[in-house]
Structure 1
Amino acid sequence: MKSKAKFPCLPGTTFYSEVRRRVNNDFKENNLSTNANGLMWFKACLFLALFLVLYFSILLLPSHLIFISVLTVMLGAVCAFIGFNICHDAIHGSFSNSKRVNSFFSFLFNLVGANPYVWNITHNVVHHTYTNIPGHDEDIEVAPGLIRICTVDELKPHHRFQQWYAFPLYSLASLSWVFRKDYKKFFQKSVGACQNKHPKVEYFNLFFYKFIYYFIFIGLPILVMPLPWWQVAIGFVILHMAQGLTMGLVFQLAHVVEGTTFPSTNAEGNMEEAWAEHQMRTTANFATQCPISAFFLGGLNRQIEHHLFPKICHVHYGRISAIVKQSALEFGLPYHENTTFLSALRSHYRILKKMGRAHQEVVGLPLIS
């Protein structure tokens, strides 16, 4: 198992200490809670209601296959939105100041086919600590060997075409998560540099709730719907292609765009910059002025604020973004931002294209220190 990369502790006033002070003062001065507000509860109720309406409409209403397919695509997107808006905050502990409320909404992650315990390890612990560090942050390994996103990865002939096949691969990410990723991460000896030692109850939870998910989305439809099993299977794949593409694009646009870096550890296996400075160089925002993106993506279009303040509910990220940006500029740190979803998508496309070329063709790109 590789050793954990350590970030230096800098003396005096640092960027992180100052931006935390400013953000905390803003909440105190305006008498605001850092947890869910009315908008957050409305979104939670809306997306859960949409989930139930779509699921039972597909399951019980006699409809044409084309209409069922449309509803299935919509259900896949809603599953992603539940993950973004509800479960993500709950697992971070930012939805509520009540552990019971957070635990309940974390449990709903099972409804989208993912294990909340495994997600907490791979995302909250590893990704948020070792963001974009090759060999440590396994969240950036979307399709190892098939997609190359930094110069540390081995360049293979097929990478020259990755800007074209990467997006269809993203649509398969959710299927891989449901049938492979959770099991693999759970049973491998370590995730990044964090050794896996699981409570016995989590072995039961992994298999039991996966079985429940398979029954709800495969077994029950086969039993109830007047369709042959293979059409139900196709519907299941369609659902996860919609869910996977939605999730894959959002996560990639936050860390794999022009300007973000993939810094390596030094000779001692440690990082040169403090953790917060590292986050500013490895993370990017997109479509921050679009209210639709803010509503549906659960604040994941404001990844900078999320990585610095994961314990603050995402509905407040717009409020604190001006403080974070101003603080970054004062400390001479980058604040990566693509103004629209399409501009971020084009930037990600260009990174894929450049990383598919030989090393001499990409010299000068700010992708790895």
Structure 2
Amino acid sequence: MKKLRFRKTSTTFYAELKAEAEVLLTEPVLQRARRRMKIKCCFYALLFIGLYLNVYNPAVSSRSWLLILNYTALGLSGILLAFNCAHDCVHNTFSSRKGTNKLLFYLVFNAQGVNASLWRKRHIASHHIFPNVDGCDADIDDNPFIRLSASQPLRKAKRYQHWYATLLYSLYTLHWILVKDFIYLRKKQLANLGEQRYSAAFIAELILLKAVYFFYMIVLPVWMGGIPFATVLTAFLVMHICISLFFVLTLIISHLSMETVFPVADEQGLLPYDYYEHQLAVSLDYHPCNPLANWIFGGFNSHTAHHLFPHLPHTVYNYLSPSIKKLSAVHGLPYHELSIPKAIASHYRYLKHLSRP
């Protein structure tokens, strides 16, 4: 694969944006933002622990429908903990101590059954460098089920992908835990990352951590809580269907829609934008300045700000998004913003668009 390069900037967009950010993000603002992020982390962590302990509450465990609701809320709280804490940790924006960031990220991700180290590598070293660039963004790697880029081959079954995508999306988290991580273990060539090798100790740790996840989510409630296995398994599966749809449909829309761009390099490996213009072109925001959306989605709703300022905590993105929107218009650069229902609809139109030759 030829080495990709971004074009040299032809605008002062990012220089002006950075200057505005320095004015907006005074030290008191940053201190409040960091404090708010830690409060959110404690809130979602306590919610997750409380809902897990509630599984053993006889008033809940004795009623199947209540147990299913509790498991679903438990799964969602875990996803929101990852959104609002672990994601910042992987970018070292949660704490000034890298060790704290690494530990929290490791605990939160592996507690969801997915391998933290494998995801960090794909996210930091692939996706954030070349988002929406086919062959260099591990998040849109060619897969046998859904075509996510026009550069990927159109197989016959994928002509109906906009019809069956929701079913596949509902299985996403279980597929990630049981299949996807193991696929990445076997992949030698991963997007732009080149040759990948994993030690026997790493593979053993990955398997052990997944066993711990299934133990505390399924075995322990049956063994210690006396809950019928079929009931626990049903609740566990319903939980994964719900959190899969929530997870996919709030993340995938931030890059894969009719509005966003999928840049292709020329024969010399030169991409059509500079680095910062590229981040604008490939990202989509939904309710980027809404405090409630920021509280829930952990800044994924203001995704343009995240890709332009990944070194800042997500609790400042609502300060930056108006400046991004204003300056992109001044410089004639793309900025994409929709409501979340319209963003989801746009994603499905994009799937339909890619289902055709």
Q: Distance in 2 between the 1:116 and 1:198 partners?
A: 14
The equivalent residue for 1:244 is 244
Q: Distance in 1 between the 2:218 and 2:190 partners?
A: 30
Q: Distance in 2 between the 1:25 and 1:210 partners?
A: 45
Name the amino acid aligned to 1:105.
Answer: L
SS at match of 1:33: helix
Measured after TM superposition, the shift of residue 60 of structure 1 is 4.2
Name the amino acid aligned to 1:33.
Answer: L
The equivalent residue for 2:218 is 218
Measured after TM superposition, the shift of residue 173 of structure 1 is 1.0
SS at match of 2:285: strand
Measured after TM superposition, the shift of residue 76 of structure 1 is 1.7
Normalising by structure 1, we get a TM-score of 0.88
Measured after TM superposition, the shift of residue 4 of structure 1 is 4.2
The equivalent residue for 1:287 is 287
How many pairs align?
Answer: 353
Name the amino acid aligned to 2:72.
Answer: V
Measured after TM superposition, the shift of residue 324 of structure 1 is 1.6
The equivalent residue for 2:21 is 23
Normalising by structure 2, we get a TM-score of 0.90
Name the amino acid aligned to 2:20.
Answer: R
Q: Which has the higher helix share?
A: 2
Q: Distance in 1 between the 2:306 and 2:56 partners?
A: 37
- The unaligned stretches of length 5 or more in structure 1 are 360-369
Q: Distance in 1 between the 2:13 and 2:200 partners?
A: 41
Compare 292-301 and 208-217 and name the one that shifted more: 208-217
Name the amino acid aligned to 1:239.
Answer: M
Cα separation, partners in 2 of 1:252 and 1:327, compared to 1, 3 Å: same
Give deviations 1:178-236, integer Å, cap 9, x for gaps.
Answer: 11222222342132120325577644542332222222113222322334434333322
Measured after TM superposition, the shift of residue 289 of structure 1 is 4.6
The equivalent residue for 1:138 is 138
Whether contact under 8 Å (2:80, 2:296) holds in the other structure is: yes
The equivalent residue for 2:185 is 186
Cα separation, partners in 2 of 1:333 and 1:177, compared to 1, 3 Å: same
The equivalent residue for 2:257 is 257
Q: Distance in 1 between the 2:97 and 2:200 partners?
A: 25
Q: Does 1:56 align with 2:56?
A: no
Cα separation, partners in 2 of 1:92 and 1:186, compared to 1, 3 Å: farther
Whether contact under 8 Å (1:35, 1:96) holds in the other structure is: no
Q: Pairwise mapping of residues 9-158 of structure 1 onto structure 2 (< 5 A)?
A: 9-10=8-9, 14-28=12-26, 31-33=28-30, 36-61=33-58, 62-107=61-106, 108-141=108-141, 144-158=143-157
Q: Pairwise mapping of residues 288-307 of structure 1 onto structure 2 (< 5 A)?
A: 288-307=288-307
Q: Distance in 2 between the 1:54 and 1:225 partners?
A: 14
Measured after TM superposition, the shift of residue 65 of structure 1 is 0.5
Whether contact under 8 Å (1:5, 1:269) holds in the other structure is: yes
The equivalent residue for 1:343 is 342
Name the amino acid aligned to 2:220.
Answer: L
Pairwise CA RMSD: 2.3
Whether contact under 8 Å (2:288, 2:317) holds in the other structure is: no
Measured after TM superposition, the shift of residue 352 of structure 1 is 1.8
Cα separation, partners in 2 of 1:181 and 1:323, compared to 1, 3 Å: same
SS at match of 2:223: helix
Q: Distance in 1 between the 2:53 and 2:325 partners?
A: 44
Q: Pairwise mapping of residues 305-320 of structure 1 onto structure 2 (< 5 A)?
A: 305-320=305-320
Name the amino acid aligned to 1:171.
Answer: S
Q: Distance in 2 between the 1:7 and 1:305 partners?
A: 19
Measured after TM superposition, the shift of residue 276 of structure 1 is 1.1
SS at match of 1:193: helix
Cα separation, partners in 2 of 1:139 and 1:353, compared to 1, 3 Å: same
Q: Distance in 2 between the 1:31 and 1:220 partners?
A: 45
Whether contact under 8 Å (2:85, 2:94) holds in the other structure is: yes
Compare 79-88 and 163-172 and name the one that shifted more: 163-172
Q: Distance in 1 between the 2:164 and 2:229 partners?
A: 29
Name the amino acid aligned to 2:279.
Answer: Q
Q: Distance in 2 between the 1:354 and 1:272 partners?
A: 22
Name the amino acid aligned to 1:231.
Answer: T
Measured after TM superposition, the shift of residue 150 of structure 1 is 2.9
